[in-house]
Chains A and B, each alone.
Chain A
Amino acid sequence: MAQIFHPFTNALSRASLVLALVLLLAVLVFAFKLYRSPYLTWAGVLLEQPVAFSHQHHVGGLGIDCRYCHASVERSAFAGMPSTKTCMSCHSQVWSDSPALEPVRDSWRSGRALEWVRVHNLPDYAYFDHSIHVKRGVGCVSCHGRVDEMPWTFRAKSLQMGWCLDCHRNPSPALRPQPAVFQMGWKPTGSPEERQVREWFSRHHDALALTNCTVCHR
């Protein structure tokens, strides 16, 4: 028999071995990135909405408090979505004939509710309670980002379980004094009441309790 393979197959075969290894790694890295990418998490993705509502204008500009529209945030698991009535309480006077607000007026006339696209959406098996987070001193910004700088509202964080755990493992840094909870641009100043909030928490909290499964899953 004569030579079966051409000399360059030596280089080729070794190269291909190395390449296979590299490829494998590449795939793993890609998957890792993909599952944390906006494509899957919707973080930072702008969504089609029935009305061009701007938090930047209402919160940043007019300085309306979160609770004016999201009324049940302190009492219920659900922060609450403003009813058409809430919108109309101002917009029957202000911008009462702007075409942008036609859907709102239409809903008010017909009684048909506005259908917003959910921006912050958790899976059905995850149970999140706004009231307790707010009461404990977790600022709105921590999860929803600087909505006062969002002309068009989008999901600020991935809302993935790993992200929840980051805070649940050690909540103290995220805690604010009550009055600061609903402030957008608040920065920790190291004030005594701040320290007190955190100390109180770490004193009154079983370190492992907050990462128990049934805290969120039932």
Chain B
Amino acid sequence: MNRPWIGPEHTYASVTDKISAIVLTEKAPRAWLWGFGVSLLLLSMLVAATVYLFAAGIGVWGVNVPVSWGFAIINFVWWIGIGHAGTLISAILLLLRQKWRTSINRFAEAMTLFAVVCAALFPVLHLGRPDKFYWLIPYPSTMGVWPQFRSPLIWDFFAISTYGTVSLLFWYVGLIPDLATLRDGARRPWASKVYGFLAMGWRGSARHWHRYETAYLLLAGLATALVVSVHSIVSLDFAASLLPGWHTTIFPPYFVSGAIYSGFAMVLTLAIPLRAYYGLEAFITERHLNNMANVMLATGLIVAYGYLMEHFMSWYGENAYEHAVTINRMRGPYAPAYWALLLFNVIIPQSLWWRRVRASPWALLAVSLSVNLGMWLERFVIVITSLHRDFLVSSWGMYYPTRWDWATFLGSLGLFFTAMFLFIRFLPVISVSETRELLSEPGASRS
């Protein structure tokens, strides 16, 4: 039978102490401080960029007519996509009874949460009148007017807010038993008070566990239904329009798989340094990395198929406008972005066919970074190349990002990693109770 998912040397006590240690050690390690500092720097850049944006107006970005969506929407889709892996790992793999999710679901969920926050930021920032964003909410205003429910943006609004809420709940519910562990393990009284407050007095009663598991399973089911819907709806922002290059039925499936693709890439990007630095090799084993690499390879192939189909359709559908867009992507002014996307998203990941690549963490890290970049470029190509040359030749134009576009994008990375570092420092990055459960099962090693 397979090698165990947990290193053989471990016991209930040892896993508990090992994982809690990351949180409960008195002093923050130097590397953490560095990472946190850099993230904070980027975050402050985001704040500055936002203040300037609100003061001067959306014109400080590169958007124009015809290209009235730019970096903001690209980043939005990119971040939402990244979020998906977390939900997939914790929900779908749970339903599929995939034991290996245990070691990675916790920080994957955290990643989801923070990615959704970053994503949700952009639709608000990119509004011409951000102070009026709340008009998307159906509330009884004195104007007596309502949102327009046929707009994909309204669907988005509901999808993203639901996604955010459910991810938060799911994550928190998963945390409760571990918070109890921290409460009982903490040496400093204020720490145990805080954790105790968050644990809501969890004491691991059999009845509680019973209801807890039902709730968790149901949530997993809901989250699964959700994760499929969210990126489909995001893709409808494009597919429901009539622009050549956007108006296509293949978008929902190919966006969802793309999302999972980029999500897993991000999980690996986070997991590999994390396990190396905190010595969690016993929990996030090479088998874990291998499985994730396989998922990446699979979803990557689906995405590649998506690209293929787009081209096939533009040729087969003999719609002159669609065809022009395809040609323009390959030969137009933004062709470099297109070819780079193919390189990063399709060519390089093929190396995952080789076990040696999947087995070497640092090679995997490189591949997943390339996929992250590739997926961003994909969104760039979809948004920009379709907009800048559409139907009327007279209104063709170009799009150039400004330094504020870049500042906002990099700033959002800052927001993400700041949150991530705080999470690593103050909450268990691996689910302790689930790891113990894993140990309890036959086949898992115990002393």
Contacts and interface: CB of A to CB of B under 8 A. Distances in A.
A32 B192 contact: no
B200 interface: yes
A10 B142 contact: no
Contact of B142 (A1, A4, A160): A160
A35 B142 contact: yes
Interface string A4-28: 1100001001000000000000000
A67 interface: no
B397 interface: no
Interface residues of A, number: 13
A162 B144 contact: yes
A162 B143 contact: yes
Contacts of A1: 184, 192
Chain B interface helix/strand/loop/mixed: loop
A36 B142 contact: yes
B143 A10 contact: no
A102 B144 CA distance: 45
B145 interface: yes
A165 interface: yes
B234 to A, nearest CB: 29
B145 to A, nearest CB: 7
Nearest to B187: A1
A13 B144 contact: no
Contacts of B143: 160-162
B183 A4 contact: yes
A158 B143 CA distance: 11
A4 B192 contact: yes
B278 to A, nearest CB: 25
Contact of A4 (B140, B144, B196, B200): B196
A161 B183 CA distance: 55
A160 B141 CA distance: 10
Interface in A128-162: 158, 160-162
A10 B200 CA distance: 9
B146 to A, nearest CB: 12
Contacts of A158: 142
Nearest to A1: B184
B87 to A, nearest CB: 27
Contact of A5 (B140, B142, B145, B196): B196
6 contacts: A13-B201, A36-B142, A160-B143, A161-B143, A161-B144, A165-B144
Given A161-B142, A161-B144, 20 more contacts: A1-B184, A1-B192, A4-B183, A4-B189, A4-B196, A5-B193, A5-B196, A10-B201, A13-B200, A13-B201, A32-B140, A35-B141, A35-B142, A36-B142, A160-B143, A161-B145, A162-B141, A162-B142, A162-B143, A162-B144
